[in-house]
Amino acid sequence: MAELTHPEVVYSPRSIQLWRALWNWLAFFFQIFLQILRAVGPQSLSTPSHTFKPLPLGELPETTDPPPATVEIPAGTDAISANEPIQKLTVVLDLDETLVCSYETSSLPALLCNQAMEAGLKWFELECVSSDKECEGKLKINYVTVFERPGLDEFLKQLSEFAELVLFTAGLEGYARPLVDRIDTENRFSLRLYRPSTTSTEYQEHVKDLSCISNDPCRIVIVDNNPFSFLLQPLNGIPCVPFSAGQPHDTQLLDVLLPLLKHLSQQNDVRPVLSERFHMLEWFQKQGIPASEALMKAEVTQLQKKDLSAAFIGQIVCLIVYVSFRLLYICSSLTKVVSLLVSLSGSVAGL
């Protein structure tokens, strides 16, 4: 009877093993719970899922769809405060099919020319030096008819009030210099760059590298009808609808581009806004062109979201591996628990 009044003496070792197994089991689930909290974390919970918007069809170079009448500007969270000193936004403008369109006078269809003039498009004729030479070694003179994009003068005037203007064209200087002299009589362009300033890449020739203009990618944008021109800085590019003499009622400059550029002038970093609106990085990747190393190092919101997603996936993988090993351990512990319970039940039944 003394043995029955002190059962802990008889079953103490097995009881200790049982409690240790149960404790390890509870600790295992607690650790899993902590790992899940760390993996999910506040940064992942606060990061919304990203849905890509395709580049608007009206802004692709190969399309002829009519341009949008207004521009939707996303609400930015990186706006500059009223009292904060600000560096002027640098706006790099393309020339042909962005600000003007030009044709060799001898090959310009008379019907197109008459329709454009009757519709009220501003135009002028220009003599420009060709890179080709005549048979006697003299420089060849080409005669060009130039049509200005509607609202060009007012666009440059208003834009120069809050931005520094740079002209960057892939055209030759002999053609572009006299043309720009005609449209920029107020010398609003602080810098003019021509074809020799462009860069050739394995994907495209005559690429316009913005790093030769500014070392601050946060406060510079380029407007060009050809997206491949800003291949090296896709998050700084604004693709615009190409202009031709057959579009006398075009309103891109004043109704679309100017409001967007005003909005960008108030941002500390223009890249998140442009990335959200145009998704040029994804567009280039669809063309088979990967992101450059400079872009991979850029600290922009969209890339930070991708980095967070990759980190989250890595944490999930580590958690799965950890759970797998712990499950093997808990199975072993449960086997011991079952054996102890069977042994205890047998001992109690024997008593």
Give the residue numbers annotated as catalytic, written as ranges. Answer: 94, 96
DSSP string, 163-228: EEEEEE-SS-HHHHHHHHHHH-TT--EEEEE-GGG-B--SS-SSB--GGGT-S-GGGEEEEES-GG
Are 73 and 201 in contact, with CB atoms under 8 Å apart?
Answer: no
Per DSSP, the three-state class of 135 is: coil
**Which among 45, 33, 246, 48 has a CA at the least distance from the CA of 149?**
246
Placement of tokens 């802004």 in the chain? 59
In which element (H, E) is residue 286 found?
A: helix 280-286
- Residue 281's nearest CA partner among 262, 268, 294 is 294
Element (H, E) at 3: helix 2-5
- Judge whether 225 and 242 are in contact, CB under 8 Å: yes
State how far the Cα of 192 lies from the Cα of 180, in Å rounded to an integer. 9
What is the distance between the alpha carbons of residues 122 and 154, in angstroms, rounded to a whole number? Answer: 13
